[in-house]
Each structure stands twice: as structure tokens, then as C-alpha cells.
Structure 1
Amino acid sequence: MTTTSSTPVDRAAPLPDTGGGVLSGPYRALTLGIVSVVLLLAFEATAVNTAMPVAARSLDGLGLYAFAFSGYFTTTLFALVVSGQWCDRRGPLEPLFTGIAVFAAGLVVAGTAAGMWAFVAGRAVQGLGGGLVIVALYVVVGRAFPERLRPSVFAAFSAAWVLPSIVGPLVSGAVTQHLGWRWVFLAVPVLVLLPVAVMWPALRRAERAQPPLHAAAFDRGRTWCAALAAAGAGLLQYAGQRLDLLGLVPAVAGAALLLPAVVRLLPAGTLRAARGLPTVILLRGVAAGAFFAAEAFVPLMMVTQRDLSPTLAGLTLTSGGLSWAFGSWLQGRPGAQRHREAMIRLGFVLTAVAIAGAALVLVPSVPAWVAAVAWAVGGVGMGLAVASISVLMMKLSAAEDTGANSAALQLSDALGNVLLIGLAGVLFSGLGGGSAAAAQDAPAPAGAFAVIFAVMAGVALLGAVVSGRTAAAGAGG
């Protein structure tokens, strides 16, 4: 099992369990505080999905469309490991609020970008902030909530996506059409101030209630591995954009940096799906990568293939946000703990069905609303799988490994996104989607979208097969 330093961390136990729910007296302010952070991230994510096709065309960067998504997750790879160690050394508050500030700075860089590469750089800065924030949130859950309440907290995280899923595409689409896509990014930093002011007192009170952590030195080896993993992922993405013989050089260099670093950063046996925690960590990356690689191209498909406005294209994804919350709620119901493996498997199957269903919209006779229905199915699947995976990670982690394993879970998530969104970008460019003609408002080839969705549906089905290995060795299943 992974650790973040050679010095054991004296991690505090959760707050005393009074038998209430997540909104009962001792937990109410804390729950509302951390959910407000997720709400902020959700608004940004749904807004970006809606505005991205317009932004990429405006900056003549349709060929780098996937890079604008995967660049975010590349820097997240590094930030996740740093955040895990930072949390284990100093608690989650410092990385949480530092991450929020860095995230806001990245929004400003992206919103003021004069070219696509500058825009990608802004997204990369956002990734640094997002990586710091998400691990800190998981550590807050592990430190402050008893095991019986953690499924409900993760369900609340998913529920926080409901309002952004409904309002986000409408607001982002209206802003993009009437004020310009830049304001989708520039307005969010101002909105950060209120959630920060609301959650700060609750988080401070919860942290003061915990015994102090022993100071543990940063594991510089892990930090360097994280940096090498991010550099390797970046080189692989760059090589994928070249699609020529010279691209083999950064591709080989990227693989040489990435693979050994990932082996060092993830729990032993993750890449071979060893039973128990390693498979749990692996499946998080498989689920996130397959779903979000497909989702990144859904709005672009709806705009270029079905001539929908940015607002309507973004609304296609709304059903997924709503149903994700429902799926997460289902896994948090009493008695669900006995069916974790089955829920994860079902979640992957539903995700594969959704991705394949969205591709049907490429057939002109199929109504455009079919994509929204398909994404509703995928949302249920992701809600079941992702929340269950998070609960299992907490259950299988020793107290002193909570920060490291939370970071590993998010690292797998980011790595899955980087590799599979990057692969989608390579397929898109290689099949003509990033051509000069496409950049001038001509439709990208339908075949490019079809291949991307077919590959990602296959990856989701592979996750369903591997899900049987989530039970620890000797535990059955």
C-alpha cells in the first residue's frame, strides 16, 4: 500500500459519530462547505464543455481541441501527488484554498488568451489548482466523517452537479452567444469569493476538532515521479498532434518518462489489476477516461453534425449530470454496501451503452435528443460506479494511507483522462477532424466521432470485465 513519506502519519479519527446524517448538527456546516466547492467546480466544468467548441474555432485551434481538455489533466497529475503529501503533512486546508486560488488564476489566463496554445496553458494552470482541491476534499471526508456517512457525502458531491448541469449550459450558452466565450471563464473567479467566505469557518472548526498531525517530510522521490509523469503525458499528447515520423521521438520519450513514474505513484499491482485496492484505483481511471473522452466530443459533434447552437449542444449533457446524482444516491442507500461489486459492473455496462447510444446521432435520421437520453443512461452508470469506487477506496485504506490513496485515486482519474482524451484527439486529428477545412466551420468527418465513441465504449466494457477483481484476495468475488 502506498505511503507519502517514510515517517508514519498520526492521522486523526473522524469526528465522534452521533448517529445523525450528513446534515445533522455536527456535520451540517462542514457538508455544506465542502459541497459548495464541488458546486463551483461543477459550474466551471459544465460551462467549459458548452463554450469549448466556440472557443476553439475562435482561436483557430480545432486541431488542439482535445489538448484543451487533456492539458488540464496533465498538470493535475503533478498536483494530485503534491496535494496528497501536503494534506498528510499539514492537513487539507492549505492545499484546498491554495488550489482554489490557482484554479481561479488559470481561468483568467484562459479567458484572456490570444491563441489556442495560450488557452491550453490557462487550462493547465486550472489543472494545478483542481488537483490540489480534489485530494484535499477527499481527505476532509476521510478525516471528518465516519465510514457509514461517507457514501452519503459522495452522493452529495454528485448531487452538487445537478444545478450546474441544468443551469450551466443555459448560462454558458447565453453568455457565449451574446457576450463572448471569454466571459464564461472570466466571470467564475469573481464567483469564487462567496463560497470561500461561506466554507472557511466550517472547515476551520472541523480541522481544529482533530488532533494535530505529526510533521512528515515530503517524499521528494514521489514528487519527482509526479513531475516526470506529467512531462511524459505532455510529450505523448504533443506526439499525438504531430502524426508524423518526427512525432515518434517525443512519443518514445514520453512513454519512457510516464510508465516508470506511474508504477511508482500508484499502489503496487494497479496496472495489472491486482485484486482489491489496486483494481479499485485502476477502475477509477478507466471509468473517468472512457466517459469524459466521449463527453468532450459530444458538444462538438452536436454543433458540427447537427447544427445545434452552443446552448443546445451543452444541454445535451445536462441529463447526464442529473442522472449521475441519481446513480450516486442509489449507491448510498441502506444495504447497498453488500452490492458494491455488482453496482460497479452495472455502472460500466450502462456507461458503454450510453457512449454507443450517443453515436447514433451521427445517423441523420436519428433525432438529436437521442444523445441526451443516452447521456442520462451514462450518468446513472457513472454515479453508481464512481461513488462506489470512492467508498471502496476508503474502506480498503489504512488510516495513515488515506491521503496517499486518495491522491492515487485522483491520479488514476487524471491519467485515464489524459491518455484517453489524448487518444481521442489523435483519432480525431488523424481522421480529418482537425483539418483546416474543419477549422473554417466545415463539419468534421462523422467517421472521426464514430471511431472515438466506439473505442470509448469498448474501454467501458473492459472496465465491466475487470470489476470482478475489486474484492481483496481471499475475500471472494
Structure 2
Amino acid sequence: MDGIFAPTHRARTVCFAAVTFLTGFAALAVLPTLPTATADLHGVALFPLVAGCFVAASLLGGVLGGAWSDAAGARAPLAVGTVLTVATLLVSASSTSIWQLAAGRFLDGLAAGAVAVAINAAIGQSYPEHLQSRVLALMSGCWVIPSLVGPPLAGLVSELWSWRVVFYGLAVLTAVPSLLLVLVLRRQDGPPRDPGPAARPPLLVAVVVSLAAAVGQYGVSGRDARHLLAVVAAGALLAAFAPRLLPTGTWRAVRGLPATVLLRGLSSGTFFTLEAYVPLLLITERHVNPVVSGLAFTGAALAWAGASWVQGNLLHGVPRHRTVLIGTLVMAAAVACAVLGTLPGLPALTAAPAMPLAATGMGLLSPALTVLSLAHSPAGHEGRTSSAMQTNQNLGQITVLALASLALTAGASSLSGYAAAFTLLAAPLAALALLAPRTRIP
């Protein structure tokens, strides 16, 4: 039997699925509460910082997780990351200021970055290429139950009690399964791995890039000289140091792995901006109930899982770069919905379908890009390749969100600002469509 649940793969498949389930449940339940939490802590202007801190820390977490996975296998970063997730939920839950909430999100991003890279590296290390897309589809499927329960329940709890109860409740619910998972992973022993000189990550560079990304998110939250200085400083540091964490030629879209890494950043940046600003638009400008916003997150997670299953089972004969193009076209429809949702004459919920549509596009193209990156990766460097994908994914999220934030604050009104922010997303989508052929496997 040659499958992901064959005896040779069963134990690791179950462990990877458990990690994905736990991190997915925490992530999906937290996201709908962030607009409410930032408003309660009188920090709506700093919402880009709160949202971006998670992504900025993921840069550093991804570098650490990738090097750790290449050196010793994925077991340790997976175990440490799941335990750290519980601690970060407690930090966020007890926030007395917007800065503490941002710190909690930063720590959570550190854990999430390490876990995400470790899982992708482990898939590349443990499964043959023809099974990798199926494993990635299963990982997306592990988000289904969290997506059904997490966002609407979090919205309801936030409405009836407090957003803090959501964070505390998630910490309690995640603590025991995380400890059990650590015990299970400790039994999955493997041969020691020689890290070698190439596997040692440029930690100082990763720290600088991560901090610069956080400073940049702070910079776009205001329009005075101090914020402008933060944007300039962050941009200069990212331009100088970020390329050292990526394959040579990434930002020039050189064929093969560099182009694949670039497209991960463009697609994730588009999706992350929609995921951050569509709920904020619905709650703060269109005055939609938080429970409805939570249901939009649920629909998005289901759409991502369903589309991922389709690409792994029904579109496995389609060249991966064409699957990327199909996903891009679906995301273009999502952006159109978001723009229409800013028009006062249309119903308040017009923008809500943007989230599940964007998730459908990502469910198609994200696993395809992951498989393409592993196919382009030299043997033994899966961790470094996964780290590069994660790094540029986060850089793309930070960059696109920052540009959208600038467009939002420059708008003549709140709704016109949102319209400008969403319209700006047409640029990365056009680049995705044009550059997809450069990712094909020879």
C-alpha cells in the first residue's frame, strides 16, 4: 500500500495532522477577535502593527525552524512551537495595552513560523514527490473542524463576554493536547543529522529583517514625521538584508526556485491583506456583527481545504504552474468583491464573499507552489527551501499590507481608503499571472 497512511508513513502523518489541527484552531479563533481587541485597547490606528507583528516574527521563526529541521529533523521545532503557542495566548489574553497585544502576537508568530517551516520540511524529507500534494491537502483538511468551530464561536464569545475569554479559553483548550503531542513526537526518533556549515542560519540577518518588518508595520500606522522615518528605516534595512535569506535572483524572478519563492510572497501578501482588512471593513465601517465576520473566516477555511483537496486529487495531472494561474484568477474575483463592498449603495455584506473566494484561490495555488519549491530544492536542503518560502511569504504579507495601509490612510474617507487599498492588490495578482510559467519543472 503506497499512501500517506501506509505503515511506513502512518505515525508521522498523524503527528503532522495533529500539529496542523492545533495551530489552525488557535489561529482561526484568534483572527476574528483582533479588530475588537484593538478597539477595546484604543489602538485601532495600530491595527497594522498588531496584524503585522505576527508576520514579522514568523520571518525569524521560519529561519530558525528551517535550520533546526535540516540539522535534527522536524520533531523538536514542532514540539517547541506547539508549547510556545499556549504561552503566547496567555500573553495576549492578559493585555493591558495595545503594545502588550502586539508583543503577544509577535511571540505567536515566532512559534507559528517555526512550526509551518518544520512541517513543510518534514513533508519534503519524509514523502516521495507523488504523495506530497496529498499530504498538503490533508494538512489543509485539518483546518476544517477548527474553521467550523473556531471563528463563529470566537465571535459569539467576544460578543457575549470579552475577546479576552477567547484567548484564555484557547490557551486552556490547547495546553493538554500540546503536551500530549510533545510526548508523541518524542517517541518518533530518527537518525541524527549533520547540520553542516550550510545549514547554520544567518541569525543576525534574520533578527534584523524581523525587527525591520515590525518597525515598518508601526510606520504605516500613522502619517507624521516619526512614522515616516520608521517606514524609511524599515525599507532600507529590508532592502539590504532580506535578499540574504532568499535564493539568489528571487526578486528578479529567475526561473525555478527563485521565481517560485517570489510568487509565494505575492500570493500570500494579497491574501493576508484581504484577510486583515475585509473583517475590519465589515466591523468598523459596515457595522456587521462579529459573529458574521467569524462565519466569513469559517467559509474561507472550508474553501481553502476544499480547493486544496481538489488540486491534490482532481488536478494532479495538471502542470503545477497552471494550477497557480487558476488560483490567481479566482483571487482576482475576490479582490473585485472586496472593492464592491466599499460602495455605500451596496449591501454591507457585499465584501464578505471576498474571503472564501481568496481562500479558494490560495487552496489551489499554495500547495502547488510548495510542491514546486520542494521539486526545485537540492536534496538535504528542504528545510532551507521551506524557510526561504516562509520568509518571502511573510515579506510579501508585510509589504503588500504596508502599501495597502498607506493607501487606506491616504483616502479622502474611510470607505474610499479601503477601496484604494483593495484596488492596489491588482498589481501583485497581475505579476502572479505573468510569472507563473517561470516556476514550471523542466
TM-score, normalised with respect to structure 1? 0.87
Correspondence list, 1:86-97, <5 A: 86-97=68-79
Q: Distance in 2 between matches of 1:308 and 1:338?
A: 40
Q: Measured at CA, do residues 159 and 61 of structure 1 come closer, stay the same or move farther in structure 2, by a change above 3 Å?
A: same
Q: Is the 8 A contact 2:86 2:174 kept in 1?
A: yes
Matches within 5 A, 1:115-154: 115-154=97-136
Find out whether 1:114 has 2:83 as its counterpart.
no
State the match for 2:431 in structure 1: 462
1:353 aligns with 2:333: yes
Preserved contact between residue 319 and residue 372 of structure 1 (Cα < 8 Å): no
* Equivalence for 1:436: none
Q: 2:297 aligns with which of 301, 311, 317?
A: 317
C-alpha separation in 2, matches of 1:388 and 1:289: 17
Q: CA deviation at 1:344?
A: 0.1
> For the Cα contact (< 8 Å) 2:58–2:113, is it kept in 1?
yes
Q: Does 1:447 align with 2:429?
A: no
Segments of 4+ moved more than 6 angstroms:
218-221
Q: Distance in 2 between matches of 1:352 and 1:283?
A: 15
Q: Cα distance, 1:366 vs. partner?
A: 3.0
- 2: CA distance, partners of 1:392 / 1:215: 24
- Contact in 2 for aligned 1:33/1:195 (Cα 8 Å): no
Partner SS for 2:433:
helix
The alignment status of 1:391 with 2:371, answered yes or no, reads: yes
Range moving further from structure 2, 400-409 or 163-172? 163-172
Deviation at 1:221, TM superposition (A): 6.6
Counterpart Cα distance in 2 of 1:176 and 1:254: 34
CA–CA distance in structure 2, aligned partners of residues 97 and 170 of structure 1: 28
The residue number in structure 2 matching 1:340 is 320
* Correspondence for 2:408: 428
Shift of 1:33: 2.0
Task: Give the corresponding residue for 1:47.
Answer: 29
State the shift of 1:310 in Å. 0.8
Selected match of 1:187 from 169, 173, 178: 169
Q: CA separation of 1:325/1:242 partners in 2, compared to 1, >3 Å: closer, same or farther? A: same
Which AA in structure 1 matches 2:304? W
Could you tell me which amino acid in structure 2 is paired with residue 280 of structure 1?
Answer: T
Point out the more displaced range, 315-324 or 70-79: 315-324
Q: Deviations over 1:27-75 (max 9, x none)?
A: 3332222112212222222222211121111000000112111011111
CA shift in 2, pair 1:106/1:218, >3 Å: farther
The residue number in structure 1 matching 2:6 is: 24
Matches within 5 A, 1:267-278: 267-278=247-258
Structure 1 residue 25: Cα displacement: 3.2
Partner of 1:336, secondary structure, is: coil
Mapped partners of 1:335, 1:453: distance in 2: 30
Per-residue deviation, 1:289: 0.8
Aligned CA-pair RMSD? 2.1
SS at match of 1:274: coil
Does structure 1 residue 282 correspond to structure 2 residue 262? yes
- For residues 300 and 54 of structure 1, the distance between their equivalents in structure 2, rounded to whole angstroms, comes to 9
Query: Is the contact between residue 30 and residue 199 of structure 1 (CA under 8 Å) also seen in structure 2?
Result: no
> Alpha carbons of 1:231 and 1:218: their partners in 2 closer, same or farther (altered >3 Å)?
farther
Q: Which amino acid aligns with 2:268?
A: A
Asked if the contact 1:291–1:456 (Cα under 8 Å) also holds between the matched residues in 2, the reply is no
Is 341-350 or 355-364 further displaced after alignment? 355-364
Alignment of 1:254-273 (within 5 A): 254-273=234-253
Q: Which runs of 5+ in 2 are unaligned?
A: none
Pair 1:327-2:325 in alignment: no
Question: Secondary structure at the residue paired with 1:357?
Answer: helix
Could you tell me which residue of structure 1 aligns to residue 51 of structure 2? 69
Residue 232 of structure 1 corresponds to: 212
How much has 1:299 moved relative to structure 2? Answer: 1.2
Is the 8 Å Cα contact of residues 294 and 452 (structure 1) preserved in structure 2?
A: no
Alpha-carbon offset, residue 342 of structure 1? 0.9
284-293 vs 94-103, greater mean Cα deviation: 94-103
Distance verdict in 2 for CA 1:294–1:335, change over 3 Å:
closer
In the other structure, the counterpart of 2:152 is: 170
1:379, distance to aligned residue in structure 2 (A): 2.0
DSSP 3-state at the match of 1:362: coil
Would the aligned equivalents of 2:330 and 2:360 in 1 still touch at CA under 8 Å? yes
- The one-letter amino acid paired with 2:285 is Q
Letter of the 2:32 counterpart: T
2:15 corresponding residue in structure 1: 33
Which amino acid in structure 2 is aligned with residue 460 of structure 1?
L
Distance 1:379 1:242, change over 3 A: closer
Q: 1:82 aligns with which of 26, 51, 64?
A: 64
In the TM superposition, residue 270 of structure 1 has moved relative to its aligned partner by 0.4
**Structure 1 counterpart of 2:420, one-letter code:** V
CA distance in 2, matches of 1:236, 1:373: 30
Counterpart of 1:317, as a letter, is F
Q: TM (normalized to structure 2)?
A: 0.94
User: What does residue 8 of structure 1 align with?
Assistant: none
Q: Percent identity?
A: 34
Distance 2:430 2:139 in 1: 25
Partner Cα distance (1:335, 1:237) in 2: 38
Change (3 A) 1:143 1:65: same
Whether the 8 Å CA contact 2:64–2:201 is kept in 1: the answer is no
Q: Structure 1 residues 280-289 or 191-200, which shifts more?
A: 191-200
